[in-house]
Amino acid sequence: MTKPIDRRSFLKITGTTLGAGALYQVGAAVGVDPQGLALTDLLGRQNGERVTPFSFVQLSDTHVGFEGPPNPLGTKAFEQAVEAVNALPRQPDLVLFTGDLTHDSEKEGETLARMKRFQEIAGRLRVKNVKFVPGEHDAGLDGGQIYHTVFGPSHYAFDHRGVHFIALDNVSQGKPVVGPEQVEWLRKDLARFGKSAPIVVFTHRPLFDLKPEWEWYTGDGDEVMNLLAPYANVTVLYGHIHRNHEQLTGNARHLAARSLIFAFPDPALTDDKKPMPFDKGAPFKNLGIRRLDLALQGARPVLAATEVELSSREFAGTVGIKQILKGAQLA
């Protein structure tokens, strides 16, 4: 679902997805007219830091260590996505990974080895401001113990150019919950912000009931969204579902990113939660791209989404994969 964004929705999201990720640009379209500049000044005074344009990238569900028919190429899509980000003529300010960085393993030492492998690939990013949240495959079996030793805290917040970013962990307790301690932490974290503050939440599972019978939900997601409800400009980025999805709940806009390993089908079309089959002729077929562009209709900014497919020009083993964008160019 795509709906026009009115001026109250200050956090502008536009740009081009990168393979299985998404490049977002923040704030750029608002400052182009006098009204927009006045709004950025107002929000800057209210929120402590004026919003200035920047872009960031969301990558998700790399599942390092996964082996199976849905993707016999292992980390190739992840590595390809890193190359695509590095090739951007204008580098994003930061990169967010929204969970399932690794695929779970119960073999001694293997989880740590997979996390190190993930770090090695992610370390190739030219952008060094990289943030993470865990998925259930990273942290669901041990309560996040190994994850914390490698990546640090699994929930935290930071500010960047006038936007408040909040990382939430809805996997480490085994069940799809955030938990009362984190909810209370969030309540205190939000207290210093004005209601117009632009907020980006990034987490792994959807914070609303998308498909509970596929475990596409967070049990106490309503508590999180109730805390965010007074804020006019909230965007929630998540992964887990291995496909694009967009939903509005109140003032909040929820965007799911595609996976870098395999796609799940549309739950509206099937009851069978099975990965989409691998297509050797088009290895990134189900990974796809979403382009989000902000335009102005008169004084009113409008967000438009364009779905762009990835295809491979040549494919030989695990090398030689070329990525071609059809219908759009990278920003």
Partner 1 sequence: MRSPRIAITLAFLAFGLPALAQDVKVIPITAKRFEYSPKEVHLKKGETVTLVLTSADVTHGFLCRPLKIDSDIPPGQETRLTVTPAQTGEFTAICNHFCGAGHGNMKMKFVVE
Of the candidate spans 25-33, 183-191, 214-222, 243-251, the one that interacts with partner 1 by CB under 8 A turns out to be: 214-222
171 contributes a contact to partner 1 by CB under 8 A? yes
223 contributes a contact to partner 1 by CB under 8 A? no
176 contributes a contact to partner 1 by CB under 8 A? yes
51-75 CB burial, b ≥16 within 10 A, e <16: bebbbbbbbbbbbbbbeeebbebbb
214 contributes a contact to partner 1 by CB under 8 A? yes
- On whether the CB atoms of residues 260 and 83 are closer than 8 A, the answer is no
DSSP string for residues in 267-295? TTT-S---PPPP-TTSTTTTT-EEEEEEE
Alpha helices per DSSP H over 23-91: 34-47, 76-86
140 contributes a contact to partner 1 by CB under 8 A? yes
Q: Please tell me the count of residues contacting partner 1 according to CB under 8 A.
A: 19
Binding mask 94-113 for partner 1 (x = CB under 8 A): ---------xx-x-------
Distance in Å, CB of 122 to partner 1, minimum: 23
For partner 1, the closer of residues 174 and 327 by Cβ is: 174
213 contributes a contact to partner 1 by CB under 8 A? yes
Helix (H) or strand (E) holding 165: strand 163-167
| Contact pick of 49, 79, 93, 215 for partner 1 (by CB under 8 A) | 215
Q: Is 147 helix (H, G, I), strand (E, B) or coil?
A: helix
Q: Is 82 helix (H, G, I), strand (E, B) or coil?
A: helix
Token code pair at residue 303: 């967000």
174 contributes a contact to partner 1 by CB under 8 A? yes
Helix (H) or strand (E) holding 111: helix 110-122
148 contributes a contact to partner 1 by CB under 8 A? no
Point out which residues bind partner 1 (CB under 8 A).
103-104, 106, 136-137, 140-141, 171, 174-176, 212-215, 219, 271, 273-274
